Amino acid sequence: MDLGKTGDLARPSSVLSDGTIRRLVDEGRIEIDPWDPGMVQPASVDLKLGASFRVFHNHRIQVIDLADPPSGLTEHVEVSDDEPFVIHPGEFVLGRTEEFVRLPGDVVARIEGKSSLGRLGLIVHATAGFVDPGFAGSLTLEITNFNSVPIVLRPGLPIAQLSFMTLDTEAERPYGHPELGSHYHGQVEATESRYEGGPAATARS
């Protein structure tokens, strides 16, 4: 299938192959920075762990009420390139990809944890793996240690994989559109939840 410019996209959706991924990056339609062609897999691209994390202040709150979510749940932690970051058993942290990713208006992506890490008890992105067309930024990673021993993370570790799918037509309002609440557009650090809540939040507005 020839993936041309967005005006040519009256076509069924499909997952992009390695050759198509490389071509769209070379053409500038998909941006992955830094770009390493050696990270391309048959139908995805491996992404590396960045140096930005957010750790939770579990001692400050008794419960998270999704109808009225509290702010300031996390603390930003930045580590150096050669500094380990230890995630303890049962601990949940937010990280980010080393790469900055930009998608065109007719391509979506899914980010998944690497199977080899899951088999060690490290779960990456069990939810919220969908990346909208038009998104630009680093990708925040949801990281949990389900093992019974601590796991050491280091910046630059291959941590996840990104696959791409085409839309049948270009999105009318891609991510970042002024009419949308694109909370994470342009993020460059691990970013905590900006969930706006349910009925309680609506009642206050």
Residues with active-site annotation: 142
Tell me the three state secondary structure of residue 136: strand
What backbone torsions phi and psi does residue 80 show, to the nearest 5 degrees? -80, 170
Question: Percent helix, strand, coil in the chain (nearest 5)?
Answer: 15, 35, 50
Q: Which helix (H) or strand (E) holds 203?
A: helix 199-204
Phi/psi class of residue 26: alpha, beta or left (left: φ > 0; alpha: ψ in -120 to 50)?
Answer: alpha
End-to-end CA distance of the chain: 48
